[in-house]
Structure 1
Amino acid sequence: MTSPQATFDARPLTDPVDAAAVRAFAAELRSRPSSRTSASTVIGIVAVAIAAVVLIPVMVSVIVSIASLGGSPSAMAIPLVLIVLLLAAAGVMIWMGVRNAQATRYRLHRFAQANGMSYEPKVADPPLPGMIFSLGRSRQSTDLLRGTRPRFVEFGNYQYTVQSGKNSTTYRWGYVAVKLDVPLPNIVLDAKGNNGFGSNLPASFQKEQRLSLEGDFDQHFTLYCPAGYERDALYLFTPDIMARFIDNAAQLDVEIVDDWLFLYTQRKVSTLDPATWAWLFGTVGALLTKFDQWARWRDERLVAENPGATASAAVPGRALPFAAPAGLLTPPPGVAPQGRRLKRGGTWLPLIIVIVFAAFWFMSRMN
């Protein structure tokens, strides 16, 4: 990945591509052991097959009816021609869709190469600890771009399907995953700029875990941290870091969990739009320069597990009154169990909807 302040090379996203190179790259992807036919291709093939199965009997029935009524051969040929044209048009649309998808993957691959990253077309059930990665079924990340310098960063699109009775809904997200130096408490920043009627996050958290920060940070984010970790959150979110999030990530939801930081959005992250990549690169670059200070955080609750560490040394930001021997300054990196995950809360929205419908029903009966 390019350095935070460097301009990135967006030309591979829009430059013309060589058709032979696109086909060669598509063949290389198919040769990978984990490669599978894309869902869109499968759906298109199935759609054409169903159309053929349905339309051919209809065509035969129409021709037989015309023949029984004494129709001319030319009249009988019209339905046949129309159906053949429809099937041909469907086939062309599928072919164009596959070709465009192959070109998109090739462009993203070239873009990744030009900016010191790697490209992966798809990962099923990605083993990431963020809140969106454990929901539903048919979980998969697509069009992943990964960089390893100055630290591991992954850009990707993600989807999962939730079954509700006979109906199912597919949810789509874009995300950026940044590997941190040490595990940190589970902290969520719910961006207010991308909310509609309430939070757009797929999880809710107990309101007792809300923490108000200084300045105008609360106008942009609602911050949740585990109970008892308020002082730790204040240590991590110093005024300069809060300013970085406000200036660069006010439209993104943020989650810190284990030794990962996730940025979430309900739009594609991995795309052919240079403006989107400029925004994302700028956001990640602005945050990366501040993560080094997070590496110094230690959980004072783990002091008991490290008898050589002093209690005062374990408190983030507190100076020792003496020079302690090397290795005895802080507890080991990690988070105590009570800080590893936020406590989830229920949502009142379904109950409110039920109450509103019940009120309308009662009023209609009264009239």
Structure 2
Amino acid sequence: MTTPPLTFDARPLTDPVDPAAVRAFAAEVRARGTQGPAISTVIGIVIAVVVGLVLVPTVVTVILSLASFSDSPEAAAIPLLLIGLVLAAIGIMVWLGWRNGRDTRYRLNRFAQANGMSYEARVADPPLPGMIFSLGRSRLATDLVRGSTPRFVEFGNYQYTVQSGKNSTTYRWGYVAVKLDVPLPNIVLDAKGNNGFGSNLPASFQKEQRLSLEGDFDQHFTLYCPSGYERDALYLFTPDIMARFIDNAAQLDVEIVDDWLFLYTQRKVSTLDPATWAWLFGAVGALLTKFDQWARWRDERLLAESADAVASGVPVATDPALPFAPPVGLLTPPPGVAPQGRRLKRSGTWLPIVILIVFGAFWFWSRLN
């Protein structure tokens, strides 16, 4: 039976807002010092300064020079009017973007409060272990909406910049982070429904770590788990859990790492669109009911490590309530993951090599001709 989605109040996302309340909220955020100017705002200001100090005086000087040699100064002044209109349009667009951003933050804050959650405008370099959070530079999470019951969940938008020579590219993601009860092996579900010519994930993994599951799960996801952890992945992804992922998260990439589960998408997660929130709340709500059974998983390799430690004479803790009991961990492994299961092994990409080969072949062919 399908679990109904978590109910939530979406009215703050679309209801009219009081401009005075929006201004008061913006002032409160500034007073807390938790929000600096947005990157888009900084870029807009820089562009406006460059246009105002460099481009406009240059263009005006050129037009006035042309007008001095023209028989009709009035006709020569027409470009000045057009430039003024363009600058006014740019100013209005920048102002509207700034105001809309301020309104969005206010609405998301009210939405979070109405649903027993909290809101934070931005967090630089968020300390999360997911694959997207360790890439590039200028890492920034924005519009974070967090809940703590029945377990911690964070919805946010994220971006980072990758430098390649003189060029740089900014990548943007939406994510949902769910706190788990115990650390689990690093498992990735690459959703096939959101791929293009290949995987849209920012990392690639060795093919030997692919695991095929029963039913039609492989039609929706490519599952990667650390070598030797195939049986553990089958324990975690029982048929009922696989059905939940297919029904509710088939368009989302999934990563389990340490004691976190991440859902990734290349669109905004924290938005004013009620349909997006309904989709995400439904997906998370359907999965939450199954995470309790994951809390019972234990890594048997830690049991072997404890036994090896005892055999080698390394001190191992014992249960103080049972002084004659064997060392703690020899009967039941503690929560945790052995080192070989904590991270998937990455694979390199062949694209740079292919480009280099094609370029070399073209250069060699041109030299022969």
Q: TM-score, normalised by structure 1?
A: 0.88
Answer yes or no: is the 8 Å Cα contact 1:13–1:274 preserved in 2. yes
Alpha-carbon deviations, 1:114-137, whole Å to 9, x = none? 111111111100000000100001
Is 1:256 the counterpart of 2:279? The answer is no
- The answer to which of 199-208 and 48-57 deviates more is 48-57
* Mapping for residues 164-183 of structure 1, pairs under 5 Å: 164-183=164-183
Asked if 1:26 corresponds to 2:26, the answer is yes
Offset, 1:351: 3.7
Counterpart in 1 of 2:334? 332
Aligned to 1:62: 63
Unaligned runs of 5+ in 2: 309-324
Q: CA RMSD in A?
A: 2.7
- CA drift of 1:251 comes to 0.8
CA distance in structure 1 between the partners assigned to 2:156 and 2:5 by the alignment? 22
Contact 2:209–2:227 (CA<8 Å) still a contact in 1?
yes
The worse-fitting range, judged by mean Cα deviation, of 180-189 and 35-44 is: 35-44
Return the offset for 1:331. Answer: 1.5
Contact kept? 1:139, 1:161, Cα under 8 Å: yes
> Secondary structure in 2 aligned to 1:196?
coil
| Matches of 2:358 and 2:219, distance apart in 1 | 30
Aligned-partner SS, 1:263: strand
5 Å-filtered alignment, 1:206-221, equals: 206-221=206-221
Contact 2:6/2:285 (CA < 8 Å) preserved in 1? no
Q: Partner letter of residue 348 of structure 2?
A: G
Map Cα deviations across residues 17-53 of structure 1 (whole Å, 9 max, x no partner). 1111111111111122232111111111121221122
| 3-state DSSP of counterpart to 2:303 | helix
The answer to whether the 8 A contact 2:122-2:140 is kept is yes
State the partner residue of 1:16. 16
Please report how far the alpha carbon of residue 77 of structure 1 lies from its aligned counterpart in structure 2 after TM superposition.
4.6
Contact 2:34 2:121 in 1 (8 A): no
Query: What is the total number of aligned residue pairs between the two structures?
Result: 351
TM-score (norm 2): 0.88
Are the aligned partners of 1:62 and 1:79 in contact in 2 as well (CA < 8 Å)? yes
CA distance in 1, matches of 2:5, 2:248: 14
Residues in 2 aligned to 1:333 and 1:95: alpha-carbon distance in whole angstroms: 52
Q: Which whole-Å CA distance do the structure 2 matches of 1:86 and 1:191 have between them? A: 44
Distance 1:156 1:42 in 2: 21
How many Å apart are 1:78 and its aligned residue?
3.8
Q: Name 1:198's counterpart in structure 2.
A: 198
Tell me, yes or no, if the aligned pair for 2:5 and 2:281 is still in contact at 8 Å: no
- What corresponds to 2:41 in structure 1? 41
Q: Name the aligned partner's letter for residue 88 of structure 2.
A: A
Partner in structure 2 of residue 315 of structure 1: none
Aligned to 1:276: 276
Distance in 1 (alpha carbons) for counterparts of 2:70 and 2:354: 62
The AA in structure 2 aligned to 1:112 is A
Matched residues in 2 for 1:46 and 1:109: separation?
A: 29
Structure 1 position 119 matched with structure 2 position 119? yes
Alpha-carbon deviation of 1:303? 1.1
1:135 counterpart = 2:140: no
- Deviation of the 1:179 alpha carbon: 0.3
Structure 1 residues 338-347 or 86-95, which shifts more? 86-95
Call closer, same or farther: CA 1:184–1:357 in 2, change over 3 Å. Answer: same
Residue matched to 1:238: 238
Residue identity over aligned pairs, in percent, reads 79
1:342 and 2:340 are equivalent in the alignment: no
Moved more, 118-127 or 355-364: 355-364
Q: Deviations over 1:60-88 (max 9, x none)?
A: 2321331344644x456544433333322
Which range is displaced more, 32-41 or 81-90? 81-90
The match for 1:106 is 106
1:215/1:76 Cα in 2 relative to 1: closer, same or farther (>3 Å)? closer
Residues 289 and 131 of structure 1: is their aligned pair in 2 closer, same or farther, counting only changes over 3 Å?
same
Q: Which residue of 1 aligns with 2:320?
A: none
Amino acid at match of 2:91: G
The one-letter amino acid paired with 1:159 is Q
- Where do 1:288-367 residues align within 5 Å? 288-306=288-306, 329-353=331-355
Q: What amino acid is aligned across from residue 333 of structure 1 in structure 2? A: P
On the 8 A contact 1:48/1:87 being kept in 2, the answer is: no
- Cα distance, 1:306 vs structure 2: 4.3
Q: Distance in 2 between matches of 1:352 and 1:80?
A: 51
Question: Does the 8 Å contact 1:147/1:153 carry over to 2?
Answer: yes
Distance in 2 (CA, whole Å) between partners of 1:334 and 1:262 is 18
Query: What secondary structure, in the 3-state scheme, does the structure 2 residue paired with 1:194 have?
Result: coil
- 8 A contact 1:4–1:281 mirrored in 2: no
Find the residue that maps to 1:96 and give its secondary structure. Answer: helix
Counterpart residue identity of residue 280, structure 1: L
SS in 2 for 1:240: helix
* CA offset digits 1:212-257 (Å, max 9, x no partner): 1111111111111111111111111111111111111111110000
Q: Unaligned regions of 5+ residues in structure 1, if any?
A: 309-323
Contact kept, 8 Å, 1:190 with 1:201, in 2: the verdict is yes
- Which stretch shifts more, 30-39 or 138-147? 30-39
